[in-house]
Amino acid sequence: MSRNTILTILSILLLFAFLYYASHHFNQYTIIILNNIAITMIFAVSYNLINGIAGQFSLAPNGFAAVGAYTAALLSLTPAQKQAMFIIDPIMPILGSIHLPFLPALIVAGLVTAFFGFILGFPVFRTRGDYLAIVTLGFGIVIDIIANNAITITNGPLGLKGISSYTNVWWSYGWLLFTIFVVMSIINSNYGRAMKAIRDDEDAAVAMGINTFKMKMIAFVVGAFFQGVAGGLLAHLITTISPTLFTFFLTFNLLVIIVMGGLGSITGTAISTIVIVWGSELLRVFDQPMHIFGITTPGIPGLRMIIFALLLIFVMIFAREGIMGKKEFSWDWLFSAIKGGRKNAK
């Protein structure tokens, strides 16, 4: 077993030890933030696969998240819960009778979302240009309309309430590790190198014999699967979902995360996710009235989002490729940096 493998295993064990300590000693608010970080990172890592690695501009995450959240919630709710919840119109009979445990519900949610990704990508990736952005933006709008009006499926604007709170740090970080493993395996394989070739120069990739349609579809469908799973995890964390939860603002946040971290860098995505999710919670203080030197200033709702917008502008000016660019963390890089620091110190 190599040194790098041993260090990776030890790091995962250290993460599990931290999660065990957190689940027993941290308050509920902090636990929710930790779950939010993991779920957002699943969204962002899988989103970076299509936008950063394959270089295809998608605006689908909010639509995929909605599909995954509603699918997982409808499958995990008991028939009695669904019957009591759908008070305007009764739920569709086939949905009302289905009940699955949490894990199968998440997997089915991911597969259903991946199917939607396949349906969207099949015609779009046969062509070139900005069609994907237009189609996926329209997809999010269509899903929002369906969520509001398909009352026998989604319960309309009332949404779904009383969803079991199955999501905890073990589910969130377990799925996060699996997502990173799958995405990194793709990136480091021939598929990943082909996707990067398409991103850098699609004409050259075609000339080299790369099946660009196949590579784009793999990135898009795999990303859709994990975004659907993340939507399901989110639904079982907050226990209430409605159409207003899955607006374009969700996609915008993920765009900020992957651009700030570095398009094509999973390490950068992880760093920027922690900064933005945790930072947005710390900056909530600006939304509330503040007492400064005996003077009470009114809170300014939305000020924290302005701060993040300014942060993004700062990154784009001084670090146009993001925090990590296209680079990734590795143990070899870490030890080289340590050795270089020692040499400079001498």
Is pTM beyond 0.75 here?
A: yes
Radius of gyration of the chain from Cα atoms? Answer: 21
Question: For position 117, what pLDDT does the model report?
Answer: 95
Q: In this predicted structure, what is the pLDDT of residue 323? A: 84
pLDDT in tens, the chain (346 residues): 677 888 889 999 999 999 999 999 999 999 999 999 999 999 999 999 999 999 999 999 999 999 999 999 999 999 999 988 888 888 888 888 899 999 999 999 999 999 999 999 999 998 777 788 999 999 999 999 999 999 999 999 999 999 999 999 999 999 999 999 999 999 999 999 999 999 999 999 999 999 999 999 999 999 999 999 999 999 999 999 999 999 998 998 899 899 989 888 999 999 999 998 988 888 777 767 666 666 666 666 777 778 777 877 887 787 778 888 888 888 777 777 777 655 655 5
Distance CA 223, CA 202 (A): 20
Alpha carbon 138 to its chain's center = 19
Cβ atoms of residues 273 and 261 within 8 Å: yes
- Residue 304: partners with Cβ closer than 8 Å, 6 or more residues away: 280, 283, 284, 286, 287
Q: What's the burial of 91, exposed, middle or buried (CB within 10 Å: 0-12/13-18/19+)?
A: buried
d(CA 323, CA 345): 25
- Token pair listed for 164: 């079991």
Q: 296 — phi, psi (to 5°)?
A: -95, 120
58: Cβ contacts below 8 Å, ≥ 6 apart: 47, 50, 51, 132, 133, 136, 220, 223
pLDDT value for 299: 64
Contact call for residues 22 and 32 (beta carbons, < 8 A):
no
223 in Cβ contact with 49 (< 8 Å): yes
In this structure, are residues 269 and 258 in contact, taking their beta carbons and an 8 Å threshold? yes
Of 344, 87, 120, give the one whose Cα is nearest residue 228: 120
CB-based burial label for 239 (10 Å; 0-12, 13-18, 19+): middle
Distances (CA, A) of 314 to 62, 150, 286, 307, 322: 26, 43, 20, 10, 10
Tokens of 198: 């398409």
Token pair 């639904």 in the structure block, residue: 235
Q: What's the rounded Cα separation, in Å, for the pair 234 and 166?
A: 10
Chain position carrying tokens 């699967």:
225
| Alpha-carbon span 111 to 95, nearest angstrom | 17
The CB density around residue 194, as the number of other CB atoms within 10 Å, is 22
> What confidence score (pLDDT) does residue 317 get?
81
pLDDT of amino acid 210: 93
Question: Which own/partner pairs from 97-101 qualify as long-range (CB within 8 Å, at least 24 positions apart)?
Answer: 98/74, 99/75, 100/75, 100/76, 101/76
Q: Coil, strand or helix: which one is 296?
A: strand
- Between CA 86 and CA 55 the distance in angstroms is 42
